[in-house]
Amino acid sequence: MNDTFLKACRAEPVPYTPVWLMRQAGRYMPQYQEVRRKVDFLTLCKSPELAAQVTLQPVEVLGVDAAILFSDILIPVEAMGMRLEFSEQQGPVLSPPVRGQAELEGLRVPEPSKDVPFVLESIRLLRQSLQVPLIGFSGAPFTLATYMVEGGGSKSFFYTKWMMFRQREVFLGLLQMLTETVCRYLRAQIEAGAQAVQLFDTWAGILGPQDYRTYALPYVKQVVRELKGLGVPIIYFLNGCAGLLEEMLQSGADVLSLDWRIDIAQAARSVGAEAVLQGNLDPCALLLPRQELSQRVQDILQGARAARGHVFNLGHGVLPQIPLEAVKHLVQEVHRLSRRS
């Protein structure tokens, strides 16, 4: 097995910088589109053979150094008792939104082996054929809470902050229930065979430092503590991390995954030897001419040299409009430019 990714996560010497991409299995790939035409999104997530198939596609086509399980961060939320639908226009829709104690009392902490067995079966199938490490994942408690309170995505996150400031105890109760859910969910993924896990805090960047320290960080720390003894690297991605890097470091995660709004050399100086860094190319930089894209790759590799270790990634997921050839070029250039003599 190619274990370069795992070695980098542990800050061990590697022959080159490993690369994988958030949302690396997705709509930019014709191979994925072919599968997707046959089934709706939720059916794809819940069909282990199909989920394993699309997880494998970018590994085979791109030559990335890790696979990430094909699923969705809202799968465990549905298992908690909310109705989940996906709309082409609106994206995820969760109902009824959690706006008070009554809705909170209607939720439960799911048991992964009974409530989401398809996720664990997908992992077991993948481990039979993968020659690179498999990453499991979950949304972080705060990010999952935003979807549950807003009823889907949001631009202003008004109801989330209304809950924080007007229904504080209910919101904290939701966060604690989500923390237990995430701990169980990721533990089950690791026991099924996931060799690393990533926590996605996609919406924690809407918080200022004070509120991040109250409503996001304590629950991430609790998840990390629960998983630390299981022997797999824990990656924490915070979208909008530039003003929260010091707080992010307190999470205890082995790897801090950065968005593109912070210079990775600056982050490396701030973090020092306390964590490996992951990231952080702007996803839209894949639209650049190849020579300019290669220079962006070189700049990130150079900037990350001061870090304890580095895993190359985008600052967010691959966009559906990105040409497949550009993604192939990115992976090839990361390998070429970072290879040690």
* Catalytic residue of the set 10, 16, 27, 211: 27
Which position has the token pair 């109902």?
Answer: 95
Using CA atoms in the order 10, 12, 18, 22, what is the torsion angle rounded to 10 degrees? 10
Q: Which listed residue (28, 147, 212, 219) is catalytic?
A: 147
- 23 has catalytic annotation: yes
Closest CA to 226 of 186, 173, 177: 186
- Is 36 designated active site? yes
From CA 298, how far away is CA 296, in angstroms rounded? 5
Is 147 part of the annotated catalytic residue set?
yes
CA angle centred on 203, ends 202 and 208, rounded to 5°: 130
Note whether 326 and 318 are within 8 A (CB): no
Q: What's the CA angle centered on 236, arms 74 and 189, to 5 degrees?
A: 55
Which is the catalytic residue, given 28, 32, 65, 72? 72
Of 281, 293, 302, 298, give the one whose Cα is nearest residue 325.
293
Burial 49-76 (b: 16+ CB within 10 A, else e): ebbbbbbbbbbebbebbbbbbbbbbbbb
What is the C-alpha to C-alpha distance for residues 275 and 291, in angstroms, rounded to an integer? 31
9 residue type, one letter = C
Judging by DSSP bridges, how do beta strands 91-95 and 83-87 pair with one another? antiparallel
Between CA 45 and CA 130, with CA 69 as vertex, the angle to 5 degrees is: 125
Structure tokens at 263: 């210079």
Calculate helix-pair angle for 217-227, 168-192, nearest 10 degrees. 30
Strand partners, 237: 200, 257
Cis-peptide, bond into residue 280, ω within 30° of zero: yes
Q: Which residues are catalytic?
A: 23, 27, 36, 72, 147
